[in-house]
Chains A and B, each alone.
Chain A
Amino acid sequence: MTLLEFRDVHVTYTGSRGRIPAVRGVDLAVEAGTTVGVAGESGCGKSTLAMAVLRLLPRSAEVTGEILLDGEDLLRMGWGRLRAVRWTGASIVFQGAMHSLNAVQRIGRQVAEPMLVHDKGLRPAVAAKRAEGLLERVGLPPSRVRSYPHELSGGQRQRVMIAMALACDPDLIIADEATTALDVMVQAQVLQLISGLVSERGVGLVMISHDLSVLSSVCDTAAVMYAGRIVEQGPAHEVFARARHPYSAALGAAFPVIGDPASRLRPGGLAGDPPDPTRLPEGCSFRPRCAVAVERCGLESPELLQIGGSRSSACFVAQEGEPVVVG
Chain B
Amino acid sequence: MTDSPTPEGGAAPLHDPAPPSGRRPGRPVSKRSTSGFGRYLCKHIGGAAVSLLLVLFSSFFIFRLIAGDPIDQLTKERPVSPEERAALRAELGLDRPMWQQFWDYITGTLTMDLGDSFQYRRPIFDLIVERLPATILLSGTGMVLAVLLGFWIGTRSGWRQGSRFDRAHVGTGLLLYSAPTFWLGMIVILVFARYLGIFPVNGMRSPNTPPDLWSQAVDIGHHLVLPVLTYTAVVYAGYLMIMRSSILDEIGNDYLTTARAKGLRDDEVRDRHAVPNALLPTVTLVFLAIGGVVNGSIVTETVFSWPGLGSLFVQAIFYPDRPVLQALFVLFSASTIIAVLAAEILYWFIDPRIRKS
Q: Do chains A and B touch in the complex (CB under 8 A)?
A: yes
Which A residues fall within an 8 A CB radius of B?
Answer: 51, 54, 56, 83-88, 91-92, 94, 96, 99-105, 113-114, 117-118, 148, 150-151, 164
Chain A residues closer than 8 Å to B276, beta-carbon distance? 102, 104-105
Asked whether A100 lies within 8 Å of B258 as measured between CB atoms, the reply is yes
- Take A102-B273, A150-B356 as given contacts and tell me if A113 and B255 are in contact as well, using a CB distance cutoff of 8 Å: no
CA distance A12 to B154 in the complex (A): 32
Which residue of chain B has the shortest Cβ distance to A167 in the bound complex?
B262
Asked if B254 is an interface residue, CB under 8 A from chain A, the answer is yes
Indicate with 1 or 0, residue by residue over B270-284, a CB within 8 angstroms of chain A CB atoms: 001100110010000
Asked whether A101 lies within 8 Å of B255 as measured between CB atoms, the reply is yes
Asked whether A104 lies within 8 Å of B280 as measured between CB atoms, the reply is yes
Which of A85, A104, A105, A148 is the most central at the interface, judged by chain B CB atoms within 10 Å of its CB? A104
Chain A residues closer than 8 Å to B357, beta-carbon distance? 151
Chain B residues numbered 92-134 whose CB sits less than 8 Å from any CB in chain A: none
Chain A residues closer than 8 Å to B273, beta-carbon distance? 102, 105
Which of B262, B273, B280, B353 is the most central at the interface, judged by chain A CB atoms within 10 Å of its CB? B262
Indicate with 1 or 0, residue by residue over B326-357, a CB within 8 angstroms of chain A CB atoms: 00000000000000000000000011110011
CA distance A100 to B350 in the complex (A): 20
CA distance A118 to B263 in the complex (A): 8
Shortest CB-to-CB span from A92 to chain B, Å, is 5
Shortest CB-to-CB span from B265 to chain A, Å, is 7
Shortest CB-to-CB span from B125 to chain A, Å, is 43
- Pick from B254, B263, B280, B350: contact of A86, CB below 8 A: B263
Asked whether A94 lies within 8 Å of B257 as measured between CB atoms, the reply is yes
Asked whether B262 lies within 8 Å of A101 as measured between CB atoms, the reply is no
- Pick from B257, B268, B272, B277: contact of A103, CB below 8 A: B277
Asked if B260 is an interface residue, CB under 8 A from chain A, the answer is yes
Asked whether A86 lies within 8 Å of B262 as measured between CB atoms, the reply is yes
Which residue of chain A has the shortest Cβ distance to B252 in the bound complex?
A58
Query: Can you list 30 A-B pairs, Cβ within 8 angstroms, ordered by A?
Result: A54-B261, A56-B260, A56-B261, A83-B264, A85-B263, A86-B262, A86-B263, A87-B261, A87-B262, A91-B261, A92-B258, A94-B257, A100-B254, A100-B255, A100-B258, A102-B259, A102-B276, A103-B277, A103-B352, A103-B353, A104-B280, A104-B351, A105-B273, A105-B276, A113-B259, A113-B272, A148-B353, A150-B353, A151-B352, A151-B356
CA distance A150 to B29 in the complex (A): 10
- Pick from A100, A104, A118, A148: contact of B257, CB below 8 A: A100
- Pick from B262, B277, B280, B350: contact of A117, CB below 8 A: B262
Asked whether B261 lies within 8 Å of A148 as measured between CB atoms, the reply is no
Asked if B253 is an interface residue, CB under 8 A from chain A, the answer is yes
CA distance A267 to B352 in the complex (A): 47
Asked whether A113 lies within 8 Å of B262 as measured between CB atoms, the reply is yes
Chain A residues closer than 8 Å to B277, beta-carbon distance? 102-104
Shortest CB-to-CB span from A212 to chain B, Å, is 25
Shortest CB-to-CB span from B162 to chain A, Å, is 12
Which B residues fall within an 8 A CB radius of A?
Answer: 29, 253-255, 257-265, 268, 272-273, 276-277, 280, 350-353, 356-357
Asked whether A148 lies within 8 Å of B262 as measured between CB atoms, the reply is no
Which residue of chain A has the shortest Cβ distance to B259 in the bound complex?
A102
Asked whether A101 lies within 8 Å of B258 as measured between CB atoms, the reply is yes
Chain B residues closer than 8 Å to A94, beta-carbon distance? 254, 257-258, 261
Asked whether A96 lies within 8 Å of B254 as measured between CB atoms, the reply is yes
Which residue of chain B has the shortest Cβ distance to A83 in the bound complex?
B263
Chain B residues closer than 8 Å to A117, beta-carbon distance? 262-264, 268
- Take A99-B254, A100-B254 as given contacts and tell me if A83 and B265 are in contact as well, using a CB distance cutoff of 8 Å: yes
Shortest CB-to-CB span from B308 to chain A, Å, is 38
Chain A residues closer than 8 Å to B260, beta-carbon distance? 56, 86
Asked whether A102 lies within 8 Å of B255 as measured between CB atoms, the reply is yes
Chain A residues closer than 8 Å to B351, beta-carbon distance? 104
Asked whether A56 lies within 8 Å of B352 as measured between CB atoms, the reply is no
Which residue of chain A has the shortest Cβ distance to B352 in the bound complex?
A148
Chain A residues closer than 8 Å to B264, beta-carbon distance? 83, 113, 117
Chain A residues closer than 8 Å to B257, beta-carbon distance? 51, 56, 94, 100
Asked whether A88 lies within 8 Å of B263 as measured between CB atoms, the reply is yes
Asked whether A150 lies within 8 Å of B254 as measured between CB atoms, the reply is no
Chain B residues closer than 8 Å to A86, beta-carbon distance? 260-263
CA distance A96 to B350 in the complex (A): 24
Chain B residues closer than 8 Å to A91, beta-carbon distance? 261
